A and B are shown apart, each in its own frame.
Chain A
């Protein structure tokens, strides 16, 4: 049992540790201790695509092995093979020196492989403890669930991860970060040899990431091998021991962290030089597009700000600070109890999203799968959806105009899709996000409210979205960008608004501000 023993003491303040010397030791050990995982020549093809082409991967015991690659590079497929969700067409897998055939999810689990997916697999109505022990509940002699033991064991396991969560609370009442910890705790039952984490930090704030990293380091100290998939390059240096880059289903390189610079990693992933991470172009600020005053209700207290033509205003804050609520209020998605919104000089009553859209305000929601896209419909239909009134005079669809609109966005945004008729569910995350953006570009909005526009997508797609933001502001649009990623926020905004507990607590010029200053404001610490 590794789970409940994960030492809280170990996890304190070790997040930034760089175990340089230990790595050398790790190299020496290689001959002695077999690696936790060795995959050789793994191949997998789907109809029309070769997802993995002779991929090798070796993960040593006690290391955090970062897996990098653009969306569609094959990371998820590789992990699905390990978790038993799919089977490879060819190749060998060894666990601690022993050849295995992973027959299915249950077998993978029996072999000590655990995977935590980016999308949580928790039952919202059940408590944290019930989720952690789902299907493995401790029972009384009569077969009834032993609640006391359930809650006690769950509490111990959560404490082991260095977090304090009431195990009896329903998961739906917990924050995203706490849910993430419940996922980790759930994964840690029995003998864990290999823990795979897919984008575990995509929804977490900086301090929550520290706690997660501390928990991960506690696990590796006990010899657990961790495969860590992330799009956040800055995390590679913080948490990783070694890093493997995949590209187009092929293994490109494996390096010790520190051997290769971030720019070098990006080059390996994209096979092209990305001049800079944030290609921000500033344009002169024009007339006022949007003014918000006295926004109240729910979480929000008296929120006021303005947005001008040619401007990107960054909105940040910790989770639960009210950022998404502001976005939903000013786009009609969830009208606020009180407040005045003025669009292009005219007072606007926003009761539904279409009220905002008619006035030129579009909304890219935080979660593209549940809010941004109709996954089962085609690229064309998704791109055309907000523009449909314009494309259908007297209700009759102008099919040619619709197809032209879709073809233009696919080309402009370089959306990778086999055809315009492809269902968006089959596109990679980055391409799906481009479809969401394309919807609003096609609808020719003056104001775009983007809630976490680059969450969970690869670096190349991110840069393309930033470039598109530049083109928009150059054409005189205004963008309100909500982001938890401070480098992105600082890199792409002109002004930054920081929210805390439903209020805007600071407004800063992005040019002269540091990540630390923004973070302090978000945390409510004096500057």
Chain B
């Protein structure tokens, strides 16, 4: 590939990265505490959960869909995982239950969309309410708290000085990146998002692969719920509220088009980091949480605005 074509392809990702560096630079001037190891580690730990959810969301959005149920799946999988741990079941089995719960919610989403022909927005909006309700019913609205130190070390532990949630997110991104760029499944996700009918006519089992995309999103939500539950030492039925918006924002800031067919996990990761750094920075600067919402909203809009303005000229 010529360097010009490479730049055109990667330009968007580089732009997002520059945005992140610019933000980091600005914050390191404004707050002496920002550029410390302990703060940056903290940012990474806080970003890990959103980043993991956003990885699944990236697949969904590239395929031309949307998943509004991820936050509720975090809560639903979380309470099942927590109850299994307190039963007590061995941690690996409890983890499997949590992940299976997320995958099942995703499977229902996928079947409603592909077999029931519901728009993804509607199917996952319904699931958002159902999974949240199920978590509340299952726990009677009460949090499930207190776990073995072994399980909690998933959030508190360090490997070679790196916090385990950060490591977990890195592994998720590595695997997701391989899945998206090196496998048949990844090719089909892009193709379906780009032109579903042309893809179907090329012999691709579109409905199966689309369903799997939502299962994947359910699984990444469940993985995020493991990190969250371990960190809080508690699973709350009201956990994960608005997580869907954070995940969508990270994906979109990262350059994935809501129209489907294009996008990258690298971009999403940077998008999630921008969200994390921004929140952290605003906290350090003592900006009120009310004002923070406004700033974050403006950043999302500006990022996408700049993107669409850069794309307009040419062809």
- Chain A residues proximal to chain B, CB less than 8 Å: 46-48, 331, 333, 352-354, 356-358, 363, 365, 370-377, 381, 384-386, 388-389, 391-392, 395-397, 399, 418-422, 425-426, 439
Instruction: Tell me how far the C-beta of A430 lies from the nearest C-beta in chain B, rounded to whole angstroms.
Output: 17
Given A353-B200, A374-B261, is A396 in contact with B183 using a C-beta cutoff of 8 Å? yes
Q: Which residues of B contact A46 (CB under 8 A)?
A: 314-315
Assess A385 versus B183: contact at CB under 8 Å? Given A376-B194, A419-B2. no
Q: If the complex has contacts A418-B5, A422-B5, are A354 and B204 also in contact, measured as CB distance less than 8 A?
A: yes
Residues of chain A within 8 A of B314, CB atoms compared: 46-47
Chain A residues with CB below 8 A from B203, complex form: 353-354, 356-358, 386, 389
Decide: A385 and B182 in contact? CB cutoff 8 A: no
Measured in the bound complex, the distance between the Cα atoms of B138 and A194 in whole Å is 72
Q: List the B side residues contacting A399 at CB < 8 Å.
A: 182
Among B198, B261, B315, the residue within 8 A (CB) of A370 is B198
A374 touches B198 (CB 8 A): yes
Number of A-B contacts (CB under 8 A): 97
**Cα distance A354–B202 when bound, in Å?**
7
What 1/0 flags go to B180-200 for Cβ under 8 Å of A?
001111111011001101111
Q: What residue of chain B has the Cβ atom nearest to residue A393's Cβ?
A: B184
A352, A372, A395: the one contacting B198 at CB < 8 Å is A372
- Whether B184 lies near A388 (C-beta < 8 A) is yes
Closest 4 A/B residue pairs (Cβ): A374-B194, A357-B203, A392-B184, A354-B203
The answer for the CA separation of A493 and B208 in the assembled complex, in Å, is 39
Q: Is the CB of B202 within 8 A of A395?
A: no
* Residues of chain A lying within 8 A (CB to CB) of residue B186: 397
Residue B298 is within 8 A (CB to CB) of chain A in the complex: no
Q: Is there an interface contact between A377 and B204, defined as CB atoms closer than 8 Å?
A: no
Q: Which of B170-188 contact A (CB under 8 A)?
A: 182-188
Q: Which of A47, A352, A418, A422 contacts B200 (CB 8 A)?
A: A352
Given contact pairs A46-B315, A395-B183, A395-B185, A377 touches B194 in the complex (Cβ within 8 A):
yes
CB <8 Å contact, A395 and B184: yes
Q: Across the interface, do B200 and A370 meet the contact criterion of CB distance under 8 Å?
A: no
Q: Check if B262 is an interface residue, CB within 8 A of chain A.
A: yes
Q: List 9 A-B contacts (CB under 8 A).
A: A48-B4, A354-B204, A371-B201, A372-B198, A381-B191, A395-B184, A395-B185, A396-B183, A419-B1
B: residues with CB less than 8 A from A are: 1-2, 4-5, 9, 182-188, 190-191, 194-195, 197-205, 261-262, 314-315
A376 and B184: CB pair below 8 A? no
Given A46-B314, A376-B262, check contact A439 B187 (CB 8 Å): no
* B184 and A374 form a contact (CB under 8 A): no
Q: Which of A333, A352, A377 has the most CB of B within 10 A?
A: A377
Q: Are A421 and B200 interface neighbours, CB within 8 A? A: no
Least CB distance from A505 to B in Å reads 28
A413–B104 Cα gap in the complex (Å)?
Answer: 46
A123–B29 alpha-carbon span in the complex (Å)? 54
Q: Say yes or no: A386 contacts B202, CB within 8 Å.
A: yes
Complex CA–CA separation, A313 to B219 (angstroms): 50
Separation of A46 and B188 alpha carbons in the complex (Å) = 32
Contact B315 A426 (CB under 8 A): yes
- Residues in B with CB closer than 8 Å to A396 are 182-184
Known A389-B184, A395-B185, A419-B1: A353·B201 in contact at CB below 8 Å = yes
User: A397 with B183: in contact, given A333-B201, A374-B195 (CB under 8 Å)?
Assistant: yes
**Distance of A323 from chain B, by nearest CB (Å):** 17
Distance, CA A3 to CA B111, complexed state (A):
52
**CB pair A385 B191 closer than 8 Å:** yes
Closest Cβ of chain B: how far from A41's Cβ, in Å?
24
Do the beta carbons of A370 and B195 come within 8 Å of each other? Answer: yes
Q: How far is the CB of B200 from chain A (nearest CB, A)?
A: 6
Q: Cβ of B182 and Cβ of A374 under 8 Å apart?
A: no
Given A374-B261, A395-B183, A421 and B195 contact (CB-CB distance below 8 Å): no
Residues of A near B183 (CB, < 8 A) are 392, 395-397
Q: Within the complex, which residue of B9, B202, B262 is in contact with A421, where a contact is CB–CB below 8 Å?
A: B9
Known contacts A46-B314, A353-B200, A421-B1; decide if A377 and B190 are in contact (CB<8 Å).
yes
Give B6 Cβ to nearest chain A Cβ, in Å. Answer: 8
User: In the complex, A389→B209 CA distance in Å?
Assistant: 13
Nearest Cβ in chain B — how far from A382, in angstroms?
A: 8
Find chain B residues with CB under 8 A from A371 CB. Answer: 195, 197-198, 201
Bound complex: CA of A375 vs CA of B315, how far in Å?
13
CA distance A501 to B232 in the complex (A): 69
CA A397 to CA B185, docked complex, whole Å: 9
Contacts of A370 in B (CB 8 A): 195, 197-198
A354 x B205 contact (CB < 8 A): yes
Q: Do A377 and B201 have beta carbons less than 8 Å apart?
A: no
Which of B197, B202, B261 counts the most chain A CB atoms within 10 A?
B202
Give every chain B residue within 8 A of A426 (Cβ-Cβ).
Answer: 315
Indicate the member of B1, B187, B205, B314 with the most A CB atoms within 10 Å. B187
Interchain nearest-CB distance for B188 vs A (Å): 7
CB distance from A448 to the nearest CB of B (A): 13
Q: Would you give the shortest CB distance from A75 to chain B, in whole angstroms? A: 16
Chain A residues with CB below 8 A from B261, complex form: 374, 376-377
Min Cβ gap A439→B in Å is 7
Once the chains are docked, how many angstroms separate the CA of A419 from the CA of B3? 11
Given A353-B203, A418-B5, A421-B5, A397 and B198 contact (CB-CB distance below 8 Å): no
- The answer to whether B200 and A388 touch across the interface, beta carbons within 8 angstroms, is no
Residues in A whose Cβ lies below 8 Å from that of B187: 381, 384-385, 388, 392, 397
Contacts of A331 in B (CB 8 A): 201
Name the CB-closest residue of A to B260: A376
Inter-subunit contact B9/A397 (CB<8 Å) = no
Instruction: Give Cα A395–Cα B182 distance, bound, in whole angstroms.
Output: 9
- Beta-carbon contact of B2 and A363 below 8 Å: no
Cα of A395 to Cα of B315 in the assembled complex, Å: 35
With a CB–CB cut-off of 8 A, which chain A residues contact B188? 388
Please give 8 more A-B residue pairs, beta carbons under 8 A apart, in addition to A374-B190, A385-B202. Answer: A46-B314, A363-B201, A374-B195, A381-B190, A385-B204, A395-B183, A395-B184, A395-B185
Output the least CB separation between A31 and chain B (Å). 41
Most buried by A among B5, B186, B203, B261: B203
Known contacts A353-B200, A354-B205, A439-B202, A397 near B184 by CB under 8 Å: yes
B201, closest chain A residue (CB)? A353
CA gap between A357 and B183 in the complex, in Å: 21
* Distance of B5 from chain A, by nearest CB (Å): 6
Separation in Å of the B94 CB from the closest CB of chain A? 29
Q: What are the residues of chain B within 8 A of A377 when measuring CB–CB? A: 190-191, 194, 261
Note all chain B residues with C-beta closer than 8 A to A376. Answer: 194-195, 261-262
Chain A residues closer than 8 Å to B9, beta-carbon distance: 421
Q: Point out the residues of chain B lying under 8 angstroms from A421, CB to CB.
A: 1, 5, 9
Closest to B262 in A: A376
B197 cross-chain contacts in A, Cβ below 8 A: 370-371
A46–B202 alpha-carbon span in the complex (Å): 33
Q: Which chain A residue lies CB-closest to B207?
A: A352
